[in-house]
Amino acid sequence: MREQPYRIGVIPGDGIGPDVTSEALKVLAAAAPVAGMRYELIEYPWSSALYLDDGVLMPETALEEYRTLDALFLGALGDPRVERGVIERAVLMTIRLGLDLYINLRPVQLYSATLTPLKNVEPSDVDMVVVRENTEDVYVGLGGTMRRGTPDEIAVAEMVFTRRGVERTLRYAFELAASRRRHLTLVDKANAIRAQEIWRRTLEEIAPEYPGVETDAMYVDAAAMFMVTDPSRFDVIVTTNLFGDILTDLGAAIQGGLGGAASGNLHPGQVSLFEPIHGSAPDIAGKGVASPVGAVSAMSMLLDYIGEREAADMIGIAVKELLSSGRVPSADARSGLTTEQVGTMIADEVRQMAASPD
Ligand code: ATP
């Protein structure tokens, strides 16, 4: 057991963020003693409410403090009363870029055939991980508009890929594939967007260093189709920031909806951030019906990342057991259970597992 307690930063955020974060922490509190791990939570107040009340946004100096932590957990950000993007840029984008979290990792796993909108698909058909590049592409913000508001208006956004950014993402994906079913699919649109050919060239160049991993490359339109018609063909998908953004929401839909999906923003070996993939869901905020499954799964990813595999696996198995048995019928607002009830059920399942490990 590690001598020092882990130091985990927590940003509950807006809307349903604080509700699902409470449940993720409840489950962490159940798993930690079983796995013999100690931790300390450092809570940060960054949210739209704080911005509206006091005009305070997360200062960039907070990054220095984050670098001393073992990991960060984020609930959700965004509030219809604040201009779209303000709070997300101040917190999420600042952390992603400031800590150089160049991998966005999104597992897509189906726990029960009843959860997916796809026909004739079994849980064993859907088990993939999307590795999305997280710092480049159109998200670098290069571009602008000319002759705004006139019939001659021009709007431009540059898609940026660096050899360094592409290579480190591909290497991470190769290593991940080597630890799974050893199949890596590169998804791009290199036929129409010539700049994306850098991905194919780099893949071909470094592939010989990973002889155990089989690779293929696919255009994003075909990948979207196959995710729906034949998801079993995917193990690890590696893709650009923009395509990853879109494909991972499709992945979430396939696994049963936004409420159940989790992600990690990683800089392997350094402090990284974990979050459910859903937003603040203003339509259901305060109603107590948000599913905490995505947040709890993000906590499991966090634990796995910091090396607490036992705690991570227990949480993963508990979530899987509750969803596959139907005791938690869905990971959306229509499960008939409250946010708190689902969190408590997962925590209880973890404790029971510990009491009877077989
Ligand atoms: P963002 O741009 O921040 O991702 P968004 O409005 O596109 O925000 P969400 O806030 O994630 O996306 O909400 C999209 C839909 O999914 C909403 O109808 C919301 O109620 C639903 N939803 C999101 N998260 C959950 C959850 N944890 N449980 C139940 N329903 C959810």
Catalytic-role residue among 221, 230, 283, 287: 221
Q: Can 139 be counted among the known catalytic residues?
A: yes
Q: Can 79 be counted among the known catalytic residues?
A: no
- Domains along the chain with CATH numbers: 1-102+262-358 (3.40.718.10), 116-255 (3.40.718.10)
- DSSP alpha helix (H) spans, 36-162: 48-54, 62-66, 86-88, 94-98
Residue 29 to residue 135: CA distance in whole angstroms = 33
Centroid of ligand 1 to alpha carbon of 150 (angstroms): 35
Which pLDDT does position 356 carry in this prediction? 75
Pocket test for ligand 1, best of 81, 278, 346 (most atoms within 8 A of CB): 278
Count of CB atoms situated within 10 Å of the CB of 85: 11
Pocket test for ligand 1, best of 22, 258, 283, 335 (most atoms within 8 A of CB): 258
Which pLDDT does position 147 carry in this prediction? 97
CA distances in angstroms from 97 to 23, 135, 139, listed in the order given: 28, 6, 11
Catalytic-role residue among 44, 66, 111, 139: 139
pTM: 0.94
Both tokens assigned to 187? 């998804």
Which pLDDT does position 355 carry in this prediction? 80
CA distances in angstroms from 110 to 65, 115, 232, listed in the order given: 37, 7, 11
Pocket test for ligand 1, best of 86, 284, 338, 346 (most atoms within 8 A of CB): 284
Centroid of ligand 1 to alpha carbon of 24 (angstroms): 17
Q: Can 152 be counted among the known catalytic residues?
A: no
Q: Can 119 be counted among the known catalytic residues?
A: no
Residue 340 to residue 324: CA distance in whole angstroms = 19
- The atom number, within ligand 1, closest to the CA of 281 reads 10
Question: Which residue's structure tokens are 């882990």?
Answer: 6
- The atom number, within ligand 1, closest to the CA of 294 reads 27
Which pLDDT does position 141 carry in this prediction? 87
Which pLDDT does position 354 carry in this prediction? 79
Which pLDDT does position 357 carry in this prediction? 63
CA distances in angstroms from 71 to 1, 311, 326, listed in the order given: 18, 15, 32
Check if the beta carbon of residue 30 is closer than 8 Å to that of residue 93.
no
Q: Does the CB atom of residue 132 touch ligand 1 within 6 A?
A: no
CA distances in angstroms from 240 to 129, 187, 246, listed in the order given: 14, 8, 10
Q: Name the stretches of the chain with pLDDT < 50.
A: none
Catalytic-role residue among 127, 219, 245, 313: 245
Q: Does the CB atom of residue 293 touch ligand 1 within 6 A?
A: no
Which pLDDT does position 3 carry in this prediction? 79
Q: Can 221 be counted among the known catalytic residues?
A: yes
